[in-house]
Structure 1
Amino acid sequence: MKNIVKSMVFFALMSAPLANAGFIHPMDFDGSEGQKAEVIQFIKSQVKKEYCSGAINMCQAMTLRMMEQQNLNAFKQATVATNRKIMDRVIQDYCHGPINMCNYQTIMMMYQQNLDASKQQLNW
């Protein structure tokens, strides 16, 4: 978990600010061709900003396509999420909070971490 947090903080510091234009909430996705196109455009735009405009330039076609695919896969997983409260909080934190890491891969990863944590209790 520490490595995940360290990676996320590093990524946040190195990334250019990300806009949320075209963001589709995964749990509101209706499967229409219009929304599919909007999701793809959002992913492509975000990945390009993250990897081509940040402090570390990793703007290579292979990297971009790999990250686009990972974000699309994460979006598809997120569309079947079941806990709206947790998903909404993750989106609030990562898309509208001080750490602007609004990409579907981060959203899905943190949704899963928070969902798992919500089922745990402190035991002796």
Structure 2
Amino acid sequence: MKKLLVMVSMSFLSFGATAAFIHPLDFDGSDVQKNEVIAYIQSRVKKDYCQTIDMCQESMLRIMENENLDAFKRLTQAKSRDILDRAIHDYCGTVDMCTYQMIEMMYKENVKASQQQLSW
């Protein structure tokens, strides 16, 4: 019964329902969450490359989907939740650039910046 519910849920996701963003540090590794992350990435990449800009080529979509999945996997190992939360807040709330690739890039830059100080 549980498998049936998961399969039905996934079929709804593949027919256009927008999947929810999963916080990388809240990811539990379950198949359900793996499928949600994949559905979110596919939906987001399609929105960005087919609706926002006109670069809707299958090869581009697959490249960006893979880039985002790799970024998500790396973000599950983030050491600073505060910095990651801020990047998510800024890029998923303040501006509509909520890709794992963007979040990872800004997370890395902010971790680096947090270890620097202004000096002569």
Q: TM-score, normalised by structure 2?
A: 0.83
Q: Which amino acid aligns with 2:44?
A: Q
Query: How is 1:32-43 mapped onto 2 (pairs within 5 angstroms)?
Result: 32-43=30-41
Which one has a larger percent helix, Structure 1 or Structure 2?
2
**Displacement of 1:122:** 0.8
Q: Which runs of 5 or more structure 2 residues have no equivalent in the other structure?
A: 1-17
- Cα deviation, 1:65-91, whole Å, max 9, x if unaligned, reads 000000000000000001000000000
> Does 2:72 match 1:75?
yes
- Tell whether the 8 Å contact from 2:19 to 2:39 is kept in structure 1 after alignment: no
Q: Which residue of 1 aligns with 2:85?
A: 88
The higher-RCO structure (CA 8 Å, 6+ apart) is 1
Q: Which runs of 5 or more structure 1 residues have no equivalent in the other structure?
A: 1-19
C-alpha RMSD over aligned residues: 1.0
For the pair shown, the structure with the greater C-alpha radius of gyration is 2
In structure 2, what is the Cα distance between the partners aligned to 1:116 and 1:77? 16
In the alignment of these two chains, the number of paired residues is 103
CA gap 1:21/1:41 in 2 versus in 1, 3 angstroms: closer
Query: How is 1:91-102 mapped onto 2 (pairs within 5 angstroms)?
Result: 91-97=88-94, 99-102=95-98
> Does 2:111 match 1:115?
yes
**Displacement over 6 Å in runs of 4+:** none
> Does 2:62 match 1:65?
yes
Q: 1:106 aligns with which of 77, 102, 114?
A: 102
Identity of aligned residues (%): 58
Q: Which residue of 2 aligns with 1:22?
A: 20
